[in-house]
Amino acid sequence: MVIAVDFDGTIVEHEYPRIGRAIPFAIETLLKLQQERHILLLWSVREGDLLQEAVDYCESKGLKFYAANKNHPEEDRATAARKLDADLFIDDRNLGGLPDWGVIYHAIQAKERGEVSFEKIMMLSGESKTSRRKKNFFIRLGEMIEKNKGY
């Protein structure tokens, strides 16, 4: 999959234009997705030096994006379409906010295996906090996969 990932509020906490503290498991999850041969694009409001700071921050953690704010490294931003050609966008401004990085990872894995739709997983992850305390995500995911096998 081609996955576009926001920076501020998604990989690091919002401190724009400064770089905020790392969001737990963001870099680790993205590195794991990259190891599994997903193509990662950095998609940020940052431009110029601020974008380069974000790229450098990620590279200092071992994460090298295929491209930043474009579909391909050689793409000319002046003439290219502004819309990225990605299968998935990970952004804290999504409807419902940014799920936990563990939820994101397992949702992508379940989608890749065709077990259940990404949308259903995200709906499940958005249950109230009290219901989440009763059963952890993995138990709920397993129950949902079992329930939807014939779907």
Query: pLDDT tens digits, residue range 73-106?
Result: 999 988 887 789 999 999 999 877 888 899 889 8
CA dihedral 73, 89, 39, 78 (to 10 degrees): -10
- Cβ atoms within 10 A of the Cβ of 123, count? 12
CATH number assigned to the domain with residue range 1-91, chosen from the 4 options 1.20.1050.10, 3.40.50.1000, 3.90.1150.10, 3.40.50.300 = 3.40.50.1000
> What is residue 66's three-state secondary structure?
coil
> Could you state, in order of their start, the residue ranges of all structural domains in the chain?
1-91, 99-151
From CA 102, how far away is CA 108, in angstroms rounded? 10
- Convert 51-78 to b/e letters by CB count within 10 Å (16 or more is b): beebbebbeeeebebbbbbbbeeeeeee
User: In the predicted model, is pLDDT for residue 144 greater than 80?
Assistant: no
Q: What is the pTM of this model?
A: 0.77
Q: Which residue has the tokens 């503290």?
A: 21
Judge whether 42 and 5 are in contact, CB under 8 Å.
yes
